[in-house]
Amino acid sequence: QVQLVESGGGLVQAGDSLRLSCAPSGRKFSSFSTYDIGWFRQAPGKEREFVAAINWNGDRTSYADSPRGRFTISRDNAKETVSLQMNNLKPEDTAVYFCAADPTKGWGTPRLATEYGSWGQGTQVTVSS
């Protein structure tokens, strides 16, 4: 498994943008390019929910209905980074955002939290109205 660290969260106003990043913590992780990566979020009092995912080489992505069209997931395997660009943020996007990783299953972009074995500690995103 790989240890992950998220960054880029913060407090913004509705309509603003944020860019979250996810990367292996510590030293270079040579197998990063063979992992599928997902972003999930958890708001207070709610269950963790899927946001977006990208497969190992970046040619497949999937999104939950709510952020589709506003969020974009991408990856740079050379830099061992996955990004989540979030535009036109809404108060309902307020949550702790987690990235997750798992060795690629080869068939696409896993959307279930149970399909990921490595998780970061999360980064808080707060959107004020």
| DSSP code at position 68 | B
Residue-level pLDDT, tens digit, the chain, 129 residues: 889 999 999 999 999 999 999 999 877 777 899 999 999 999 999 999 999 999 999 999 999 999 999 999 999 999 999 999 999 999 999 999 999 999 998 888 999 999 999 999 999 999 999
State the Cα torsion 9-13-15-21 to the nearest 10°.
Answer: -10
Half-sphere exposure of 94 (CA within 13 A, CB side): 12
